[in-house]
Amino acid sequence: MTAVLTQPRPIRLKGRSYLALTLTPELPFEDWLVRLDDLAGRSAGFFLRRPVVLDVEGLEIDRAQLRDLVGKLGTRNVRIMGIEGARPSMLGNDLPPAMSGGKATGDIEEPAAAPASEPPAAPAPVESAAQMPAAPLPTTGAPTSIVVTQPVRSGQSIFTEGDITILGSVASGAEVIAGGSIHIYGTLRGRAMAGTLGNAAARIFCRKLEAEMVAIDGFYKTAEDLEPGLRGKPVQFWLDGETFTAGSMA
């Protein structure tokens, strides 16, 4: 009877980015799998313990073919953590979840080249989303900050590792996720999550607060928990130790 509803410690939600291999299968899959086997044969365990994302953008295949391909990769010990570019009708509970918003990094090097006797024309099956000059794998340096000049529409999701500045409004059902702080010069009606990469000093600013949810470094508040007096006002949020704090900027 004494259900504890007032937990002193809230559940923490955090974003984290990992480097995943992206496999881009080509039709017909039989031929492509032969090439993949050839690659794996040259370097046993190349895919072992690596997160692999399957990019099926632009492939005219149905759900059965996709499930079959994921199964065939599974028998080769290539486990797929997510699928990119698939139509929602192709996915289901029995398939890995959809992924989107991936950022290209440098190409991951293919294991040692084939013996010289083989024709060198075989295309590398492992490639990242965009061709970029080989860069060091973990990108170091300052995280990128972005400025968004368009309104963020319902259903859109924006992520960057640095700060985000939004000149327009963030619609109900839209989300903005930043490693750093979030500045919104219009109305915040959707979700804003700042400091998601573990930055407790990040803040959220908006000119008019109508938010569905706000979060900093994993601490969050939903619209219900926000002080009603802040609605419609210019507001900023920050973390005071482990206390989620809001203050008017008027």
Partner 1 sequence: MGKVIVVTSGKGGVGKTTSSAALGAALAQNGDKVVVVDFDVGLRNLDLIMGAERRVVYDLVNVIQGEAKLTQALIRDKRIESLYLLPASQTRDKDNLTAEGVEKVVGALKTHFDWVICDSPAGIERGATLAMRHADIAIVVTNPEVSSVRDSDRIIGLLDSKTAKAEAGERIEKHLLLTRYDPARAERGDMLKVDDVLEILSIPLLGIIPESMDVLRASNIGSPVTLADERSAPAIAYFDAVRRLKGESLPVTIPGEKRGFFGKIFGRKAA
Query: Which chain residues interact with partner 1 by CB under 8 A?
Result: 87-88, 150-151, 153-156, 168-169, 171-174, 187, 189
C-alpha span between 240 and 250 (Å, rounded): 20
Residues in the chain: 250
User: Which contacts qualify for 69-77: CB closer than 8 Å, 24 or more apart?
Assistant: 69/25, 69/29, 70/95, 70/96, 72/29, 72/33, 73/23, 76/33, 76/36, 76/37, 76/40, 76/47, 77/47, 77/48
Minimum distance of partner 1 from residue 150's CB (angstroms): 7
45 vs 155, beta carbon nearer partner 1: 155
Beta-bridge partners for 182: 164, 204
**21/128 Cα distance (integer angstroms):** 7
Joined together, the tokens standing for residue 96 give 């890995």
In the complex, minimum distance from the CB of residue 104 to partner 1, in angstroms, rounded to a whole number: 18
- Closer to partner 1 by CB, 163 or 212: give it: 212
The least distance separating partner 1 from the CB of residue 57, rounded to whole angstroms, comes to: 13
Sheet with 157-160, strands from edge to edge, namely 157-160, 175-178, 191-194, 213-216, 219-222
- CB nearer partner 1, residue 145 or residue 172: 172
Considering the complex, state which of residue 181 and residue 187 has its C-beta at the smaller distance from partner 1. 187
Least distance in Å: CB of 167 to partner 1? 11
Return the number of the residue (88 or 228) whose C-beta is nearest partner 1: 88
Rounded to the nearest whole angstrom, what is the least distance from the CB of residue 155 to partner 1 in the complex?
4
Count Cβ neighbours within 10 Å for each residue of 113-148 and write b for 16 or more, e otherwise. Answer: eeeeeeeeeeeebbbbbeeeeeeeeeeeeeeebeeb
Nearer to partner 1, 126 or 164 (CB): 164
Q: Is 210 helix (H, G, I), strand (E, B) or coil?
A: coil
Shortest Cβ distance from residue 189 to partner 1 (Å)?
7
